[in-house]
A and B are shown apart, each in its own frame.
Chain A
Amino acid sequence: MADVFVDAKGLSCPMPIVKAKKAIDTLQSGQLMEVHTTDKGSMNDFQAWVKQSNHELIEAKEDNGVFKFIVKKK
């Protein structure tokens, strides 16, 4: 179960990552964030952002047009 959940469905780039960053900034190291987005560009962007920030991408999947990510804060 994630420590914070970001519902970015219906938001366009760059808002999904802007919100995700705000949310993960509130977490302690090791905690989990779950993000849901419908923006098609997010897959590549999100993975690149997580990698870049040294967080860990635990899960990335698409479920009926919704992209779901679980990230563990570094």
Chain B
Amino acid sequence: MENVESITAEELHRKMNSGKEVVILDVRNETDYNDWKIEGKKVRSINIPYFNFMEEDEQVYAGLPKDTEIVVVCAKGGASDYVAEMLMEKGYKTWSLKGGMLAWSQFYVPTTVYLDEKLKIIQINRLAKGCLSYAVISEGKGMIIDPNKEIDVYIELAKQHQFKIEHVVDSHLHADHITGGPRLAAQVGATYYLSSEEAKGTNLKYEPLDRYDRIKVGDVHVEVLSIPTPGHTPGSTSFLIDNRFLMSGDTIFVGGLGRPDLGGKAKEWAEDLYHTVFYKLKDLPDDCLVLPAHYSDVREINEHGIVGEVLGKIRANNDIMRNEDKALFTEQVASAASMEKPPNFEEIVAINRGELQVDEERAIELEIGPNRCAVHHHG
């Protein structure tokens, strides 16, 4: 396949952000495509399974643009090379995504959310899954919140932004992705924190998050406040900086509230969520920027490339949060939680609890698919 030119996930992302339309021809089967695909505001996505191209039927090429570049994508890069070569022979301008969806799923984009002399906050976006991690940096020291399993991404970030990772935190026990927390902490000599509520029944080594009211990051007065926000999972923790930034984990999303049903105790936890939303967080100012751990729709990415929204807007948009009738609230939330759990969530939870070990190949396989953590409430 020497003729076919391939591009990396990073190069594809650059094209997607260039302002011009990008045509993605996804050659996976329909079921897999409908489950999960590359999305973007400027992306025109076409799905034609690769075996359709084997039929030598000119009709298959009918919908494909001759004048625009086409990026061909498949699961691992093999079928996209095959189809890209056929397209090239027919005179189309094409690229094949190297490594396919597998490579895309391990691609992370860091964006600076905030910067002043004392504080830098970086949001690390794993586009394929909608998972968000954070680096809170001050005076050369840093805290990483919700790192994913590709820990090199965070180590690289620390090198680039010149800080030492001292604290690694998981806002809760994740069900959609494998945490990189313990491994990252071990590798860089940092402390790993998790709520002891989340760690109940496991043999994990961790520093109990619930023991801290604040964790100092750097030499300055910038402090991180733990606000236990049960209702997503019972030990869910959020982090507040200066009343200005709320890393809300999976409790409040830009597009809706968290999924209390994952523990099988939907009603109880929906009640906890009600309590959290209306009491614990009600004193936070409207201009506090909410930075969640997940998002499910590219529309949640704002014009600065960041997934985040001020609390006032979220309150305004989110009927649930304004609905102060407890019974109605808990019913709405418990039933709105879609029936679909994150793919492989039981196995992923077992791995994050330290109860199951898998090899790298299996780990990558388990993480294929979107996060499905957010409950949508927009009418």
Interface residues of A (CB under 8 A from B): 12-15, 17-18, 21, 40-41, 44-45, 48-49, 52-53
Q: Tell me if B111 counts as interface (CB < 8 A to partner A).
A: no
A-B contact sample (4 more), CB < 8 A, given A14-B51, A21-B54, A40-B365: A41-B75, A44-B32, A52-B49, A52-B51
Taking CB as reference atom, which chain A residue is nearest B31?
A: A44
A13 touches B54 (CB 8 A): no
Residues of A within 8 A of B106 (CB): none
A13 touches B74 (CB 8 A): yes
Residues of B within 8 A of A17 (CB): 50-51, 54
When the two chains form the complex, which single residue of A12, A14, A40, A53 contacts B50, counting CB atoms closer than 8 Å? Answer: A14
* Consensus secondary structure, chain A interface: helix
Which B23-49 residues have C-beta < 8 A from chain A?
A: 28-32, 49
B79 touches A13 (CB 8 A): yes
Give the CA-CA distance A53 to B53 in the complex, in Å: 12
Shortest Cβ gap from B282 to chain A (Å): 47
Q: List 22 A-B contacts (CB under 8 A).
A: A12-B76, A12-B78, A13-B76, A14-B51, A14-B74, A14-B79, A14-B82, A17-B50, A17-B51, A17-B54, A18-B54, A21-B51, A21-B54, A41-B76, A44-B31, A45-B29, A48-B31, A48-B51, A49-B49, A49-B51, A52-B52, A53-B51
Give the CA-CA distance A14 to B82 in the complex, in Å: 7
Give the CA-CA distance A21 to B49 in the complex, in Å: 14
Residues of B within 8 A of A52 (CB): 49, 51-52
Give the CA-CA distance A12 to B79 in the complex, in Å: 9
Give the CA-CA distance A52 to B55 in the complex, in Å: 11
Give the CA-CA distance A13 to B79 in the complex, in Å: 6
Which 7 pairs, one residue from A and one from B, show the smallest C-beta to C-beta distance?
A48-B29, A14-B79, A49-B51, A13-B78, A14-B82, A12-B78, A41-B75
Q: Bin the interface of chain B by size.
A: 10 to 19
Q: A45-B29, A48-B29 are in contact. Are A13 and B75 (CB under 8 A)?
A: yes
Give the CA-CA distance A52 to B78 in the complex, in Å: 21
Give the CA-CA distance A5 to B165 in the complex, in Å: 56
Give the CA-CA distance A21 to B50 in the complex, in Å: 12
Residues of A within 8 A of B76 (CB): 12-13, 41
Residues of B within 8 A of A53 (CB): 51, 55
Residues of B within 8 A of A41 (CB): 75-76
Residues of B within 8 A of A12 (CB): 76, 78
B78 touches A45 (CB 8 A): no
Q: A17-B54, A21-B54, A40-B365 are in contact. Are A48 and B49 (CB under 8 A)?
A: yes
B57-74 vs A, Cβ < 8 Å mask (1 yes, 0 no): 000000000000000001
Residues of A within 8 A of B29 (CB): 44-45, 48-49
Give the CA-CA distance A12 to B52 in the complex, in Å: 18
Give the CA-CA distance A28 to B25 in the complex, in Å: 34
Shortest Cβ gap from A5 to chain B (Å): 20
Residues of A within 8 A of B78 (CB): 12-15
Give the CA-CA distance A62 to B357 in the complex, in Å: 23
A45 touches B365 (CB 8 A): no
Shortest Cβ gap from B115 to chain A (Å): 43
Shortest Cβ gap from A74 to chain B (Å): 13
Residues of B within 8 A of A13 (CB): 74-76, 78-79
Shortest Cβ gap from B255 to chain A (Å): 29
Choose among B30, B55, B74, B78 the residue with the greatest number of A CB atoms under 10 Å from its CB. Answer: B78
Give the CA-CA distance A48 to B75 in the complex, in Å: 15
Residues of A within 8 A of B54 (CB): 17-18, 21
Choose among B29, B75, B76 the residue with the greatest number of A CB atoms under 10 Å from its CB. Answer: B29
Which B238-262 residues have C-beta < 8 A from chain A?
A: none
Residues of B within 8 A of A15 (CB): 78
Taking CB as reference atom, which chain A residue is nearest B53?
A: A14
Residues of B within 8 A of A45 (CB): 28-29, 49, 51
Shortest Cβ gap from A54 to chain B (Å): 12
Give the CA-CA distance A18 to B79 in the complex, in Å: 10
